[in-house]
Chains A and B, each alone.
Chain A
C-alpha cells in the first residue's frame, strides 16, 4: 500500500463517517443533529448565512474559474 492508496483510503473513511453520522442523526434516537439542522443553525444570522454562501461560491471558483 503506497501513500496514494493511504490518502485515498483516508478520504473514503472520512466520507463513510460523514454518511454514518447523518444516518444515525436521521434515526432520531440520538442527540446528534442532521447536517441540515447544523447548517440551519449556522445560518441563523447574517454572518453564518453569508459566510456559508461565500464558502459555497469559493468551491465553484476553485473548481471552474480562472
Chain B
C-alpha cells in the first residue's frame, strides 16, 4: 500500500483518497498535468506541519541521515499534495459534519458559514469558527470514550514488554531500528485512515492563544537551532552547546533508561493517535 492509497478494504483511487471521498477531477495528462500537480503540492506547503516536516527532513539530511531525511521529505510532499487537493475542493456549502462536531449551536457552524460563537465558560474571547475545510473522514469505527479498563491495562502491559524488549538492545542497532520503524509505521498508517475516537474539535483559537503556544514553539526551536549551530559540526555533540539529544544521551546508556524513554515515546504516540 502506497502512502497515497487507501487502507484495507477501503482502498480508493488516488484522487478520491486525497479528497477524503469527495469526487475530484484529475489533473490533465502530460506536462500540463505535472505542472498542475506541482502547483497543487506547492500550495500545500503553506500548511505549518508540512513546512515543519520539510525543515526536519533538511536538518536530518545535514546531520548525516540522508535516508531518514528522504523518507520525511517524501511524506511531507505527500501531505502537501493532500492539503493542496483538499483546499481546492473546499467551498462554502459543501462541508460535511466531522465526527464529534456538533451541528447548529456550540462550536460547529452551518455549512459554508463562518460565525462568531461564544467562547466556553471562563474564556474571555469570542471564538470564530472556520468552515472552509472538509470534515475529517475515518475508516475506523469511532469510539466515543476511553477504552475499557482491561484494554488499557493490556495496552500498558504490552507497551512495557515492547519497551523492555527493544530497549534492551543498544541504540542505532538493527533490532532497535526494526522495533521503532515497525511501530512508527503502523501508527502512521492508522492515523492516515482517520481518527479512532469521536472528539469535539475545538474552534479556531483567538490570537492570544495562537501567540502563546506559537511563540513557545518558535523560541524552543530557535534555542535548539542555536545549540546545533554552536557544535563543531552538525553531527558531533558539544558540551559547550548541548542540544536536547546531547543532554539526553546519558539516559540511553542503560537498558532501563532506553526502555523508559521508549515507553514515554509510545505513550506520546497513544496520546496523539487518540486525538
Q: Give me the interface of A with B, judged by CB distance under 8 Å.
A: 2-4, 7-8, 10-11, 14, 17-18, 21, 27-33, 35-66
Contact = CB atoms under 8 A, between A and B. Distances in A.
User: Interface on chain B toward A: helix, strand, loop, or mixed SS?
Assistant: helix
Interface residues of B, number: 83
B269 A61 contact: no
Contacts of B152: none
Contacts of B174: 66
Contacts of B258: 64
Given A51-B47, A64-B180, 10 more contacts: A11-B247, A31-B119, A33-B213, A41-B205, A42-B49, A50-B75, A58-B60, A64-B177, A64-B179, A65-B68
Nearest to A41: B202
Between A10, A54, A61, the greatest number of chain B beta carbons within 10 A of the residue's beta carbon is seen for: A54
B123 A55 contact: no
A2 B201 contact: no
Contacts of A55: 49, 52-53, 56
B191 A49 contact: yes
B14 interface: no
Contacts of B123: 28, 30-31
Interface stretch (B27-35, B153-161, B181-189): B181-189
Given A11-B247, A32-B212, A66-B174, A60 B184 contact: yes
B49 A47 contact: yes
Contacts of A17: 216
